[in-house]
Amino acid sequence: MATTGTGQVGLTARVKRPFQNLSRFLRDVWGELQRVVWPSHEETYSYTAVVVIAIAVVAVWVGVLDLICSSIVTGLNLYK
């Protein structure tokens, strides 16, 4: 590290250090993104369809459970 005559770390070294770390980090991120195998359009569409169908199934399931629970509460006359 660059030091001044008083033994303190130089101002320019203290200012540059975080940006050097950030620069190295961004280069590493870009290198990793270059190695990613991205899905094709067909795979993306099929995965999206699977997610939409799964959400619809879970929504129906939660709706049926809600209907059952509300029928039980109504049948017990807990809320008048």
The number of folded domains in the chain is: 2
Q: What are the CA-CA distances from residue 3 to residues 8, 16, 79 (Å)? A: 5, 14, 77
Looking at the structure, do residues 45 and 58 belong to the same domain, yes or no?
A: yes
Same domain (yes/no): 7, 32: yes
The model's pLDDT over 60-71, given as tens digits with 9 standing for 90+, comes to 999 999 999 999
Q: pTM to 2 decimals? A: 0.55
Both 8 and 30 in one domain: the answer is: yes
Q: What's the CA gap between 80 and 35, in Å, rounded? A: 63
Same domain (yes/no): 44, 80: yes
Q: What confidence tens digit (pLDDT) does each residue in 10-20 have? A: 777 777 777 78
Domain match, 44 and 76 both: yes
Domain assignment of residue 27, given as a range: 1-36
The whole-number average pLDDT for the span 72-77 is: 88
